[in-house]
Amino acid sequence: MSEQTCRGIRGATTVPDDGAASIGEAVRELLDAIVEANRCNAADVAAVWFTVTDDLPAASPAAEARASGWEDVPMLVVREHGGAAGVPRCVRVLLLWNTDRMQRQIRHVYLREAARLRPDLLPADGGGAG
């Protein structure tokens, strides 16, 4: 049996508008992409921290994550004053995951316009970060 360590998975996405449905869809898409990229499940997640830019007051990313099945995961939402490096309508996440993987094996996920926050993660063809 291998020893588990808590590892951080970072990610971000942008939302087309400040509607609760749009925020919910973007949060679900981001969490699904993180789960898929890392082959993890919510049962092994210790906590999730969201940050949102000031221009997204319509809905809480944590409430949207809970509505999509993440009921037992502790979550925190922080509002970013001044934005996320010039990326409007941005939701960022730090997911703390209990795993036996090494940090270098973790795949961070940046979707849509939020990929500009981490150009080092862009594939050579210039497509979206993952």
Question: Measured between alpha carbons, how far is 97 from 55 in angstroms, rounded to an integer?
Answer: 29
Question: What is the pLDDT, as a whole number, of residue 126?
Answer: 45
Question: What is the pLDDT, as a whole number, of residue 76?
Answer: 93
Phi, psi of 47 (to 5 degrees): -170, 160
CATH class of the domain at 5-118: alpha beta
Question: Measured between alpha carbons, how far is 17 from 104 in angstroms, rounded to an integer?
Answer: 34
Digitized pLDDT (tens) for each residue of the chain, 130 residues in all: 467 788 999 999 999 999 999 999 999 999 999 999 999 888 899 999 999 999 999 889 999 899 888 888 999 999 887 655 678 999 999 999 999 888 888 999 999 988 888 777 765 444 444 5
Lateral strand order in the sheet of 109-110: 75-80, 45-53, 90-99, 5-14, 109-110
- Helices H / strands E in the chain, number of each: 2, 5
Question: What is the pLDDT, as a whole number, of residue 47?
Answer: 95
What's the first-to-final CA gap in the chain, in angstroms?
A: 30
